[in-house]
Amino acid sequence: MVFQRRVVVLVSAAIAIVLAGCSQPEAGTAIPDSSGSAMPSSSQTQGDNFPVPHISEPLDPSPYLDDPCGLVPRSFVNNLGYGGAGQASSGDIPGVGSLTGPGCNWGAAGQLEMMSLNFQTEARKRGEQGGLRQHYALYESGDKYAYWEPATVASYPAAFADLADRRNRGWCNLIVGVADDLSFSVATQGHEDDPARACENATALATKVVELLKGGS
């Protein structure tokens, strides 16, 4: 099935490793941080080259985890060029176990271009380290990612990273940290005719997700 194949790609591109549970404030609100600082800072690092930021205004996606496809308006995704209403994914892959967490896949039947959103929550339930720091640790260890390019999405730390760099073939994977122990990823594929569009669309959806989690519309 097309969507199932896409979920497998997403799990490979952005494995979920997230620590400890969090409180559940009202939907669309940031969780206050005791430090009182306004935006993510780069005070904590792993490795010599890339600062792994502390996120001083964590966001809580828990109100949307039962219906991740309902977070982003269908019209927004359709305007990016992905047909259909979206299909929810639990992150459970037969024979692999629950590696990621709830997400949504978009792309009409017969359409090559597809996009996926995944909240990486399952490791948090298992008491494992998670968030953008864990993804970077996987990159530094050489166990997961072939490249790592830091980015910022709506003032939150992010990175383009994947098993192989296929951006010139119309594939893109973007990981965004929304708490010290929590991230989400957006993956796109099938944009061979216009490769730049893959990362443009991934960035557009990731930005929309952060804005919605902040309480925007």
Task: Give yes or no for residue 185 having a pLDDT over 60.
Answer: yes
Phi/psi of residue 175, nearest 5 degrees: -110, 135
In the predicted model, what is the mean pLDDT of residues 130-150? Answer: 88
**pLDDT value, residue 92:** 62
**pLDDT value, residue 55:** 92
* CA separation for the pair 202, 116 (Å, rounded): 9
In the predicted model, what is the mean pLDDT of residues 32-48? Answer: 33
In the predicted model, what is the mean pLDDT of residues 63-88? Answer: 93
CA dihedral 137, 139, 144, 148 (to 10 degrees): 140
**pLDDT value, residue 51:** 63
Specify the residue for token string 């980015």: 151
Task: Give yes or no for residue 7 having a pLDDT over 50.
Answer: no
**pLDDT value, residue 45:** 36
Of 21 and 73, the structure prediction assigns the larger pLDDT to: 73
Residue 95: which residues within 8 A CB-CB, separation 6 or more? none
Lowest pLDDT segment from 1-5, 104-108, 156-160: 1-5
Rounded to two decimals, the pTM is 0.76
**pLDDT value, residue 6:** 44
Task: Give yes or no for residue 34 having a pLDDT over 50.
Answer: no
Looking at every residue in the chain, the average pLDDT score rounds to 76
